Structure 1
Amino acid sequence: MSTTQIDRLRELLEPLAARRGMDLEEVVVTPAGRRRVLRVVVDTDEGVGLDACAELSREASQLLDETDVMGGAPYVLEVSSPGAERPLSEPRHYRRAVGRLVRAHLHAGDVLTGRIVAVDEEGVDLQIPGQKGRRPTARRLAWDEIARARVEVEFNRTTASGPRVERQEEA
């Protein structure tokens, strides 16, 4: 059995998440005054809704109360999905972000911003936006080229056919 508290928490919480079809992405314990905050981040290919987080939180809370893994000090449990600017560290993270804009820092020192077009076992295909009226270009990145990457927030996200347009129904 693992010796660190995070490892013990992962061993306890991973089966709960897996039974619900979720991946346990992150477990973090941070001090917050006299208590601690246990943050549990889960995700699926379809995303995770508020109801699913609440159900997992109730089940995890009950299980944590039955064990001594959090010790005797009070704690607050937070269960959530990854944030909008989530870091991408596993191939499944990139697969879930197909169509999204990402910023990738390469081991060679370059920084690329592009839209994920496809993901496979060897790497990721990006569409790099054209600069100053030029056409977008395709760029293939092997997994070992990427030092770190993160999804970028887009307020005016475009689709493959151009800017997204809201339709209004006629009365």
Structure 2
Amino acid sequence: MKMVPGFFWGLVLILIGLAIIFRVVFDVNLLRIIIAVLIILFGIRILVGKNWMPERSQKEHDTFFSDRTYSEIPEDKTEYNVIFGKSVYDFTGHDSILREPVKIKINVVFGAAVIKINPDMPVRIKSEAVFGGSRMPDGNTVAFGSINYTTRSFIENTPHLYIESDVVFGGIEIMEK
């Protein structure tokens, strides 16, 4: 789910423009129809009791309408996505010495993520939030904008875990454990 912010906001503006045109020209409130359809689909999902999205469209690191826990060793250039769900990423049980830099990306849209890190492992985190929340272990938070955090064992230009996170209408909490 690589989505450029320009593409996302462009799509949002186009949809808002179409909603205004439909409202003025056809006297149809498109926004209310879309919200009603989403509520109906969510109700059907609750009644059915299982995931109605095709499994083949989901990647192993994606969480849609469910809860998942990851305790794997993160591989370089891995991307995790949480959409209308919750994921817990536990990176505390791994060796605190990294042989090479590892960069992962975590995207949260209308969901929640908890990232547990080892304070003895060199970790650098950059989190960007848009109408969401991102809380770092030192208590700093961001609701709209960007925030950076490094563990006390982080040294520039040495192998470390780099976590890049984006959150839109959701929340991310990073915990040292």
- Same fold, TM-score > 0.5, yes or no: no
The alignment's TM-score, normalised by the length of structure 2, stands at 0.23
The alignment's TM-score, normalised by the length of structure 1, stands at 0.24
Instruction: Name which structure has the greater RCO, CA cutoff 8 Å, separation 6+.
Output: 2
